[in-house]
Amino acid sequence: MRMARLPVLEAVRSTLLALVVAAPLALLAAAAVAAAPQPSFVVILADDMGYSDIGSYGGEIATPNLDALAAAGLRFTEFYNTARCSPTRAALLTGVYPHEAGMGFLPFDWHPPGYTGVLAENVVTIPEALEGAGYRSYLAGKWHLSDQMVEKAGDEARISKASWPIARGFDRFYGTISGAGNYFFPAALVEDERPIAPEGEDYYYTDAVSERAAAFVREHATRHPDQPFFLYVTYTAPHWPLHAREEDVARYRGRYDGGWDALREERHARMLEIGVVDRRWPLSPRDPDAPSWEKADQKIWQARRMEVYAAQVEVMDRGIGRIVSALRETGVLDDTLLLFLSDNGACAEELGDPLGWVRRFLPLAFRAPARDGRPVQRGNDPAVMPGGEHTFQSYGLPWANASNTPFRLYKQQVHEGGIATPMIAHWPAGLAAAPGALSDAPGHVVDLMPTLLELAGASHPRGRGERPSRELRGESLVPVLRGGRRERGPIFWEHQGNRAVRQGRWKLVSRWRRGWELYDMEGDRTELRNLAVEHPGRVRELVALYEEWAESAGVGPWPWVIRPLRWGVAALGVGGIAAAALVFEWMRRRRTGASTVR
């Protein structure tokens, strides 16, 4: 009779056998990872684009290039920005929240530490971190992270460039330091660190950004073929002003004659069909500040506004196609992780110019003449059709409400309409998901830096210069890109007193000087059923989380973050200007026969 093996001996034998088999496999896997090429990275950022504007997220605008990237890649349905352009750029590039990077508001140097208006010295940017891993970095487009803005070629000697792109890790730069401006004749173009003027009679900024981005890809392939790269493309499109070539606008003529109510319904139906929104989330009601299309005035002008906006988005998409072509031609498309997203939700700002004299005090980018020297007519005047270079208009709240379908509220606010962004990830060699897949994994722009660093095999520097660097706040998206899931920690927002925290399915949110609202993001992402009264314990828990974060991040009470003395001086100055402007406008209207001041 054979004696049965002792259980302990059998366990030891099995363990040894497993080690003998597994060890070589582990070594082979490690070698394969080590031998895998470092991916290159392309991050493309739209400006003021709503959640539902592009085709792959339910829009009717022609975006075939983005739609092709989505069809071959992965779409995130619950990704977030920070509700404003400069704060999003700061968070994306540094992996920390905007206030920690000095950009709690906009690039104005009159605020305390979280609101200095320039990237803080103790934060590290993506290109600064990737340099140690052998990457070169390129930027084409809008910077908007410095209060040192050059207005025209020739006056750069008085400008500090310490917070410009080249000083913060980029090897090449083409674009604008400031925010939005004339698309046909931008007033503050810069190449590397040298202010330049737009070239050519047919210059259009969106096309120029696309062409230079594609040129950077080809230049890199020629001069640095053995190095990976990071390309950051930051369009101003479709941020106001509404500027587009007439032939591009013509393709949308008549498309929006049915109005914003019909457009919202159309888009919502498509979004449900393709799965980017859940059927449990009803379409939010039309914004109470928007009239029904039936009762809207100036319908021809209103439709034209949306036509121009759509053309701006289409031209951006066409440029993205040129960038993808350059990646394909140089043989790096498969090994490049390309990400596309928007810096905030749709913009509901109405541009008025009742006090024309005030614009004399605005930065040149907003008051410069057209390229032929003629003045630009600023303001949403229905007597002037937008689109041409002598106009300066926005598309307004009702169309922004449609762009943000199915959500409510807009840029600057931290309800879903202000912070929800489409995000497309395209990476043929690296994505594990099936082509065209959707991911509902929550994410935030602070997650991009740790994601890129992990994929590059780069470490986050412990310091920048003599200062220790801030720790990353983001959490890597690599598990999601590789086909798995991750448990995302709480995500926080604050902008102009609008506050929010999301933890798992729960989101606590408040508009400035209003009470907290609680929403279940799984069942009610359109934020229509406030559950704060029903779940007071959950509210207290999330408020405590938010307050702890706000203190650690340097969030100040809005608007008193502005130093009292400067706030007082600024208020007196603005009040004086406004009073003088009213007098001048009154005198002008008296001379021209107008009886009232608008």
- Separation CA 164–CA 119 (nearest Å): 9
Which tokens go with 204?
Answer: 């259009």
- Separation CA 254–CA 251 (nearest Å): 9
- Separation CA 63–CA 55 (nearest Å): 6
The alpha carbon dihedral of 522, 523, 529, 535 has a sign of: negative
Q: Is 243 a catalytic residue?
A: no
The alpha carbon dihedral of 408, 411, 415, 416 has a sign of: positive
Count helices and strands in the chain by DSSP H and E runs? 15, 19
Work out the angle at residue 249's Cα, subtended by the Cα atoms of residues 243 and 251, and round it to the nearest 5 degrees. 160
DSSP 175-217: EESSS---SSS-S-EEETTEEE---STT--HHHHHHHHHHHHH
Torsion of CA 461, 465, 470, 472, to 10 degrees: -30
- Separation CA 111–CA 479 (nearest Å): 38
Asked if the peptide bond before residue 241 counts as cis, ω within 30 degrees of 0, the response is: yes
**Are residues 208 and 17 in contact, defined by beta-carbon separation less than 8 angstroms?**
no
Amino acid at 89: R
> 96-121: buried (b, 16+ CB within 10 Å) or exposed (e) per residue?
bbbbbbbbbbbbeebbeebbbbbbbe
Q: Is 347 a catalytic residue?
A: no
- Separation CA 343–CA 63 (nearest Å): 18
Instruction: Give CA separation, 19 vs 8, 10, 475, in Å.
Output: 17, 14, 33
CA nearest neighbour of 424 among 59, 68, 50 = 68
- Number of Cβ within 10 Å of residue 452's Cβ equals 25
**Are residues 105 and 87 in contact, defined by beta-carbon separation less than 8 angstroms?**
yes
CA nearest neighbour of 268 among 24, 584, 521, 50 = 50
* Chain centre to alpha carbon of residue 22: 45
Q: Which of 144, 239, 243, 444 is catalytic?
A: 144
Helix, strand or coil, per DSSP, at residue 36: coil
Q: Which of 85, 243, 415, 426 is catalytic?
A: 85
**Catalytic machinery residues:** 85, 144
